[in-house]
Structure 1
Amino acid sequence: MVASDLDRTLIYSSAALALGMPDAQAPRLLSVEVHESKPLSYLTEEAAGLLERLAGEAVFVPTTTRTRKQYQRIQLPGRRPAYAICANGGHILVDGVADLDWHASVLRRLAEECAPLSEIRAYFTATTDLSWVRKHRVAEDLFAYLVVERERMPQEWLKRFEEWADERGWTVSLQGRKVYAVPKPLTKSAAMREVARRCGADLVLAAGDSLLDADLLLAADRAWRPGHGELADTSWTVPHLDVLAERGVAAGEEILRRFRTAVAEHRAASSATLPGQAVNGSPAALPDQT
């Protein structure tokens, strides 16, 4: 199974492409998201081909902080994923439909373990300034974020907010122009484990670029991160993580290449093992369970 973050990991806005080359040498791009009649997100044509092939070789699970509505704007190449994880793990989509039992279990845990969303929203209202905050947003009634003028945002405000939120069971992440406040129990990794259980996956691969992806990468068997993003800025790493030199849309292409190589290696190892014989101490897996 392959669980990958989307924005700034596999797909990129025009501002995040980081092409870093003469225009005549830039790769051909494919738009995979349109919003308000304008193209919004891209990957390279090479990445599109890699993703389409990957989706036929493994269970590919888009794993995003986006709301369901925001995710459904994306049209990835290849077959539609049977599973998707949205709202940072708050929703699991099965053939495009939210699993209500999973969502109810998430809500119960949030109620038990952290301060309510209303308290976070009240803090935003009381402490932010319209000179640097463009929008207040709530996502799926699960978490909140601000759209900010980053160069004007007081760093001392962010530090105070991080400390205040941590005491109430919330985590704070700055991604581009957005400041996210997310309940600590609301994680991509919990939803990833549930999807892996349903799929019977014996190997889980993951990729991501932000602090909100750290738990996802930590929970995977193998993981990759690009040379940009919050995780790169903080030099975050774990033993099973590969750090890529590529940045921007080129990193998305390389991540897909690494996913396909890892899937092929796993299939080869599984095929070379007799039924019932262990691979690295685990029962042999059928190739279509990857």
Structure 2
Amino acid sequence: MSRIAYVNGRYLPYAQAAVHVEDRGFQFADAVYEVVAVVGGRLVDAEGHLVRLERSLDELRILRPMSRTALAMVLAETVRRNRVQTGHIYLQVSRGAARREFAFPAGVSPTVVAIARNVDMTKADASARRGVAAISQPDIRWGRCDIKTVGLLAAALAKQAAKEAGAYEAWLVDRDGFVTEGSSSNAWIVTADGALVTRPLGHAILGGITRSAVFELARQEGLRLEERPFTLTEALAAREAFVTSTSSYVMPVTSIDGKPVGNGGPGLVAGRLRAIYEAHSASHGAGRPDWQAQFLAP
């Protein structure tokens, strides 16, 4: 089956899907995006992603291209047309196409693109069973990491460094020596006394939708939660470490910069949180055939 992309109101075969050469997302990274998991053909935590998208658009003063209800329907139709059962959908909204000038153009309509694909989770599940390696990298990103923009060059450089080191992820470290987050994930540790620690929300990190879900699930499990910065030294002394993201779910980190975390294997807390998050994803995806009702509000 040929893959279908949504571009500015049309569902097109990939070979015909294109945006203008002077689109500001291409020239200035003047665009935001979301990646939403699909389970059983349904979107997971879709409302959270669309709320965050609206926040990102508002922070950059990009016009909202359509109502939340309409955008949810576009995502659902893109998933349906691509017959995605387990996978992801990528949504991008740019300020639009205009003559190349730094200042925001007037009278320009946003560019909206959505693509969906199936993903085989077998490899990710195997990685979760054995744990993954991380390396540390200096955090050289801009000062508003809470806005989910397509300006991902610094993250791509960190991810490439991790790949070349044979690692799964790069943990970014700020000027004060504290871990901010992963190049495409939020970072967590479990301390020796059992506290679950992750960096608090703010301009330094992206407010991950999976992070939010896991935080609430951990609270329901009765785990002690601490939102505070932590260092690499503290992470290496921790009982466990893991990352959360739309594509990784909950992924145990068993080494950082070649040094083992805890006993060097996946921990019980990360394993338990992954299991309950998978159950959460099923209930908010395949188990929620009426999920679009969440988006009745404009």
TM category (shorter chain) comes to: under 0.3
Q: Which has the higher helix share?
A: 1
More strand as a share of residues: 2
Q: What's the TM-score once normalised by structure 2's chain length?
A: 0.27
Give the structure-1-normalised TM-score. 0.27
